Structures are given as structure tokens and as C-alpha cells.
Amino acid sequence: MSALTTSELTAIYTDLHAHPELGFAEHRTAGIVAERLRGWGYAVHEGIGGTGVVGVLTNGDGPRVLLRADMDGLPVTERTGLPYASTQVTTTDDGQEAGVMHACGHDVHVTCLLGAAAALADGDTGWRGTLVVLFQPAEELGRGARAMLDDGLFATVGGAPDVVLGQHVLALPAGVVAVRAGVAMSAADSLRITLHGRGGHGSMPETTVDPVLMAAATVQRLQGIVAREVAAGESAVVTVGSVRAGSEPNIIPDRAELLVNVRTYTPEVRERVLAAIRRIVEAEAAASGAPQPPEIETVTSFAATVNDPEATERTRSALGAALEARRAPVEAVGGSPAVVTPAPHAASEDVGELATAAGAPLVYWFLGGHDPAQFADVDLAGAAAAGQQPRGIPSNHSPYFAPAPEPTLDLGVATLVAAAREWLD
């Protein structure tokens, strides 16, 4: 066999993009992955943690290296206008109809890992050891990695890895990789807060305890946590992403629900912010005379993603060499290859759970996926160091998020192959 061609990679990518699947429902994607891996000689393990797929390829004694990609899409209605745009729809847990889209680039991740798996299984491998390629479900839910681990992942595939490697496509120019040692991505906690009131007629509010007013006061007060309880040298984000209450203008409901998202970089700040949220919610409920205490439920929880410093520096040089070797296709679209050091990213990932459970170092980097011409006036190194998102370029989770297949896919394969070979060799 031989490595996948550019046209083959693009065909896989556009097919996956047009057929996204939500977390723990990636049956079609998992089937495609398993079939491909078997054809390349991998020992394939399916259904780990629900829909997870792992391929194992051994070539003599040596290190055990794990490459990881996530497979799930998001409940987002696509608006890119691409000829291969998703038209899939779903019904959310609250009964609302929504589109389904690969709005975070997991279709890129799956395609690149398939390409790397093909290249590393080529007849003249040039490496020794065991390669583990892991396709994970439900990253967006923050539960996919844990589900695979709880399902006996490492026992199933023959042992824990010596290193965990992975990448995430981002709104950076194709040809650029961003990687940093230490904390690379924030911890994230999503909370569902239910405030209880006492409903009644809108004309007689004095007979009620209004949960809408309670929710409004709570939302406003929550914004004071970062402004007044987090030091200038620390960092945190508190976002109220949803407020739900009532159905009619003249009926005061008996409850209101808030969905809150928290991003932090250190355990100390994380603990302090979560404690402040609980204190404020309970106090506002008491101040409103709520008939029962509020309920605070953790919906998802991600630990911070922390790259091992020594492993990161070792891998960085391999990534730079891979980009330099691909200089021609990058220059063809007006870019230049580079490895930059970003600020910690406020998005979150569960890939670190795999490394923590294995007791292995993690190296996780960002892969540029957009037309370099869109970044012509951007000081890329400066923007990355400051953690700035270029204006006007759709970010991950946007309904307009659309990585350029080329040269992104070829570069994504090359970086995974180079990183794996660095550790396998």
C-alpha cells in the first residue's frame, strides 16, 4: 500500500464534513475508520467507550506511541455555503430542532489521522515500536476520553502508551503550527443552575416569587466574579450562555434555568470561581425569598490541557522540520511555514485524560487550517503570543467555520507522521 493522495484525503474529508454525527452517535464515522484501518493491516478494536475505534500496529520492540483524533460534530446549523455543507438535523435534549455540523474541525482531525495511519503502515516503515491510532467519541461533551478509559482502553489495546500526541485545527494560516509547553488550554466547567420561584398571574406579582427577576439579578452579579474576585495577573471567564424561563407574557413561571460556562487555568482560580458562583446563586435565591434552594448541576467538566515541557520541545523540532519539508505547497497559497508559541488557549479538551491515565507525557498542538491570504496584515507571532483571534475570520464553533482542505490536510498528515516518527524512532 502507499500513503493517501491529496485527492483521496479531500474525498474522505468532504464526506465526513457532509455527514457529521454528535457525541456517542458517531456510528458511520467509526465504521469508515475501522474499515480503513483493517485494510492497512491494523488490529482494530471497535466500540470502546461506545463508538471509539483504536487501531494497533506493531513493528518490533520499541516505544508505544498514541496518536489521537476526536470524531464528533456539534448541534450547529451550517451556513458556509460549501458544496459539501452538512444538511443533517437533530433534536436537542430540550426538544429543539438544530442542524449538525463539524463546526470544530473534527472532520479534519479524523482525515489527518487516517492519512497518518496509512503513511505509517506503508511497506517501508522505517520505525520500530507500537503505533496506536485512537479515534475518540464525544470530545465536545467532555466525556469521550473518560468513557474509553472506563471501558478498559489500555488493557484492550495491549498497554498504556509512552507518549500521547494530537492536534487541533484552528483559525490560523495553513503552514503554521502553534505549540506551547505547560498549560496549553484552559479547564472548563459547564453548570446548569435551576432557580425555584412561585408562579402566578402577571397582574399580581405580589403573590409570587419571580424566578425571572431572580435569574436577572443572578446573571448580573455573576459578572462581578471576574471583575472583582480574580486578580489582574490571573485569568478566568464566566459566561451565561442560556437563560430559560416561562412561556407567556402574563404568566410568572415557577422556575428559571441558567447555563453557565467557566474557563480557568489554575486549580486555585478554578476552585475560587466555582465557589463564588455557588455563593452568589444561593444568596440571590435567599434574597428573593425562594421557596426552595437552587440546584447547581455540573454538566461537563474538563481539566486543563497541560503539555509536558521536555516532550514538547522534542516534538517541536520534528513539527518544524515537517513544515519545512512541505514548504512548496504552503508557498503556493501565499504562506510560509512556521512554528509559533501561543498564549494558553481558553478552549478546552479532554485529550489530557488519556495521558494522565497512562502516566505519559502529552504533546498537543494547533494546526493552521485557513487561507494564508486572510492573515496578510496579521503579526502572527505577536497575535499568538497575546492569545488574540484575528478579526473577521470565523472561529471554531461558528456556523461559518470552514478550514481549507488544501494544503491543510496534507500538512496535518505530515505533522502527525513526523511527531510519531520522532518518538517511534
Active-site positions read: 70, 140
Contact predicate 34/117, CB 8 Å: no
Q: Which residues contact 132 (CB under 8 A, 6 or more apart)?
A: 54, 55, 56, 64, 65, 66, 67, 157, 161
**Alpha-carbon span 6 to 329, nearest angstrom:** 11
Residue type at position 198:
R
What phi and psi, each to the nearest 5 degrees, are found at residue 318? -65, -40
β-bridge pairing 295-302 and 64-70: unpaired
DSSP state of 397: T
The helix or strand, by DSSP H or E, that contains position 172, with its residue range, turns out to be strand 163-173
**Alpha-carbon span 2 to 296, nearest angstrom:** 53
CA angle 161, 164, 170 (to 5 degrees): 160
Q: How far is CA 384 from CA 170, 337, 344, in A?
A: 12, 15, 9
- If DSSP states are collapsed to H, E and C, what string results for 74-119? ECCCCCCCCCCCCCCEEECCCCCEEECECCCCHHHHHHHHHHHHHH
Torsion over CA of 10, 11, 15 and 20, rounded to 10 degrees?
-30
What phi and psi, each to the nearest 5 degrees, are found at residue 183? -70, 115
The DSSP code sequence of 278-334 is HHHHHHHHHHTT-SS--EEEEEEEEPPEEE-HHHHHHHHHHHHHHHHHTHHHHHHTT
Exposure letters 205-221 (e unless 16+ CB within 10 A, then b): eeebbbbbbbbebbeeb
**Alpha-carbon span 208 to 199, nearest angstrom:** 5
